[in-house]
Amino acid sequence: MKDLLVYVHSPASAQLFMTYAAYVARDLDLTVKYIYVHTPPNFPLGMPGSLSAAAVINQQDINREIDGVKHHFEMQIEKLNASDPDLPLLDYKIEIGFPAEIMHAYCREEMVDTVMLSSSKNHTAFGYDADNIEIIRKVKCPVWIVPEGITYNSFSEILYATDYHEEDIPNLKMLAEFASRFPASITAVHISSSADFEERVKGEGFAAMIREETGYNMISLKVLQETSGEPLVDELHNFALMMDADLIVLLRENRGFIDRLMHGSRSEKIARQTSLPVLIYNEERK
């Protein structure tokens, strides 16, 4: 059984986030590995044989911090296990290095199924959290972004942002397998500048094709018309709230997610503005 790798910035104040992760893992038949990454200011430390007094003091500070993190992890996990004996295995790991590199290594070695990040109230979703952006850019497995302070409810309505290309079918198959565990309805939403796109989609029977290809009947389609002026990110977010969505699923842009973030990608804006959890799949197009 693979892990849900949960990046925890501060175990002392992460009770809600750690609880959310534990229940997601339970419903997806995953175990949980909470991970804390300490990056010393002068990492990597001095070359072998050059250990100075300053380095010794620095190591003492690191040890003191790690001891505190261990204490809070063990206390939070003990509380979770006491609150619900049906939760999956909950474990923790403390690493020293750079968060994105460490998460990338876990995914590359197929030690984890997916990664979960938190977003603070000041930096909703991607926000300006450099660690989160770098992790999203680096890792090769699905990434969750969970707004700070939300509680977990089993998913029932999923909004999937798509552009209705045939290459999206692998992603929809993966999402259908995920949704069937709850089970949850999927609404695939496309933003189009074409006035006749909705009629064309209906005429080509795209909805029927998706249901046939995925084997999942709880999928519907919605087209949002793009207009001049303000991007339709607000409209998409409002639609998610109107349909009582409890999860937004996006694709990481094929041309490089981090580059698109800096140029105002829709995915970044949607995730930045929403109070809903976001799940990002890697792009499957060739």
pLDDT averaged per 10 residues, the chain (length 286)? 92 95 96 93 52 57 90 97 96 93 89 89 51 85 90 94 69 91 91 65 70 90 68 69 90 48 50 75 58
Task: Enter the tokens of residue 258.
Answer: 């981090």
- Concatenate the DSSP letters of all residues of 247-284 into one string: EEEEE--TT-HHHHHHTT-HHHHHHHH-SS-EEEEPP-
Predicted TM-score (pTM) of this structure: 0.83
> What was the pLDDT predicted at 11?
94
Decide if 150 contacts 277 (C-beta within 8 A).
yes
Architecture of the domain spanning 3-147:
3-Layer(aba) Sandwich (3.40)
Cα-based distances in Å from 134 to 47, 130, 264: 27, 6, 16
- How far apart CA 31 and CA 115 sit, in angstroms, is 12
Decide if 80 contacts 90 (C-beta within 8 A).
yes
> What was the pLDDT predicted at 48?
44
> What was the pLDDT predicted at 108?
85
| Answer CATH for 157-281 from 3.30.70.250, 3.10.129.10, 3.40.50.11810, 3.40.50.620 | 3.40.50.620
CATH 3.40.50.620 in the chain, residue ranges: 3-147, 157-281
